Structure 1
Amino acid sequence: MDWLFQSAINTLQSELTLSSGLAVIVFTLVIRLILMPISFASLKQTFSNMQKLAELKPEIEVLKEKYSKDPVLQSQKLMELYKSNGVSLMSKNTVLNMMVQAVVGIGMFQGLSNIALSGRLAWIADISKSDIFLSVAVAFITGLSMYFMPSAADSVNYAMIALMSVVCLISLLNVSSAIGLYWGTSSVISLFQSLAAKLLFENKRPLVL
């Protein structure tokens, strides 16, 4: 797969006269644009589930109270309620999106790790080395994108967001800025996708999928 990344980035550099850093950003944008139908289908499913769960909240509370002393039976009854009302906590769209994002993410990480990229971009003197300011910025954007990511949970898990941001920061401090540029660009796109989906799907009538 390395040759594919190398070929694509070299083409962007030669045809569009881009620096290595800009070529990584443009390549990431192209990849995420190709994957957008899959990711948006997953977001649509998530918002649909959120709307249905909000409508079912009174019934959910009744079941939790009724079977509070039997967690196994409580879980079974809740799953029956979800199924009968078309709530899918792990739909095929969600699973497909997770699998595709994981495969592409791993491929990009390995590809950029094995490709010799260098050069200046903005304040970054050499994208072949890590940059603390880029790492901090990407960690912050990653946390922000997680905050706005739709979830069926009643509250935001701030501890998980903080933990993932710290893991992101530590990871990026130990890899090249080229990977940081990919990670940051991908996180920015995820953030805008979540915000766009929120405007399109939230507080609307239950979605027909």
Structure 2
Amino acid sequence: MINALSGMMASVLNYFQSVLGLGWGMAIILLTIVVKVVLFPFSISQIRSMEGMKKIQPQIKEIQEKYKKNPEEQQRRMMEVYKENKVNPLGGCLPLLLQLPFLWALFGLLNNPEKFNIDFTNAFFLTMDLAKSKYLVLGIISGLTSFLQQKMTTVANTDPSQSSFMYFMPIFMGYITYTLKAGVGLYWVASTIIGILQQWLIAKFFIRENPQVES
């Protein structure tokens, strides 16, 4: 399946590069936009789920405090709140999971471009060779954009462990991006930036206040 997806992405990249005359870097960015457009309906669902979680957070915190010595009752009460307000606590995970095959496919494509009839010889974007890794600037941008996205999606008044995760994850993503080939890193950074813009647009134009949620 991943090989088939790599082949499809190679065809799209070749089209952008040979027919539209784009450089490989711009071709990867345009491919990222295409993937984001395809996954846009799932992104709407994700943002709605996150906004719903923000609204019910006071209720969740109250239940966690009240039943902290009774985990089973705590879980039952929390599930009742989710059900009453039509919120899926795992709803925000689906778009990320759907993006992973595209990321793996591009990784496989850049690791073996000859297999997919892609010539990445002298494939540069700005000063970066897209077939090589360890570009510090790409890692830093990845970390900063990941932090901004985490900041936008984090529910207010989260517990300390989640707050620590908000700082750890961008550092981790920055390091991973640094170690990956620049083409994959560029895709990830572009995907994160587009995701931030998508999140703002969805919150502004696609989400209405849910009167069912009570504080």
Normalised-by-shorter TM-score class: 0.7 to 0.9
Q: Structure 2: which 5+ residue stretches go unaligned?
A: 114-118
Matched, 1:6 2:10: yes
> What is the alpha-carbon distance in structure 2 between the residues aligned to residue 132 and residue 196 of structure 1?
30
TM-fit CA distance, 1:59: 8.4
Q: Percent identity of the aligned residues?
A: 24
Partners of 2:172 and 2:184 in 1: how far apart? 15
Number of aligned pairs? 199
User: How is 1:78-117 mapped onto 2 (pairs within 5 angstroms)?
Assistant: 78-91=78-91, 94=92, 96-115=94-113, 117=120
- Quick one: which amino acid aligns to residue 131 of structure 2? S
Task: Classify the secondary structure of the residue corresponding to 2:10.
Answer: helix
Cα distance in 2 between the residues matched to 1:166 and 1:10: 33
Q: Structure 1 regions of 5+ residues with no counterpart?
A: none
Distance 1:161 1:22, change over 3 A: same
Once the 2 structures are TM-superposed, how far is the Cα of residue 177 of structure 1 from its aligned partner? Answer: 0.9
When the two structures are superposed, what TM-score results if normalisation uses the length of structure 1?
0.80
What SS does the corresponding residue of 1:129 show, helix, strand or coil?
A: coil
2:142 pairs with 1:138: yes
The verdict on how the C-alpha distance between 1:146 and 1:114 changes in structure 2, with shifts beyond 3 A counting, is: farther
Q: Residues 17 and 23 of structure 2 are in contact (CA less than 8 Å); yes or no, is this contact kept in structure 1?
A: yes
Normalising by structure 2, what TM-score? 0.78
User: 1:129: which partner in 2?
Assistant: 132
Q: CA RMSD in A?
A: 2.7
> What is the CA–CA distance in structure 1 between the aligned matches of 2:151 and 2:66, rounded to whole Å?
33
Q: CA offset at residue 169 of structure 1?
A: 2.2
| Structure 1 residues 102-122: Cα deviation after superposition (integer angstroms, max 9, x where no partner) | 333333333333325242222
**1:129-172 CA-partner distances (Å, limit 9, x unpaired):** 122112211221122112112x4563384421322222222222
- Alpha-carbon shift at residue 58 of structure 1 (Å): 5.5
Structure 2 vs 1, CA of residues 31 and 69 (structure 1 numbering), >3 Å: closer, same or farther?
Answer: closer
How far, CA to CA, are the matches of 1:58 and 1:183 in structure 2?
35
Q: How does 1:168-187 map to 2 (within 5 A)?
A: 168-187=173-192
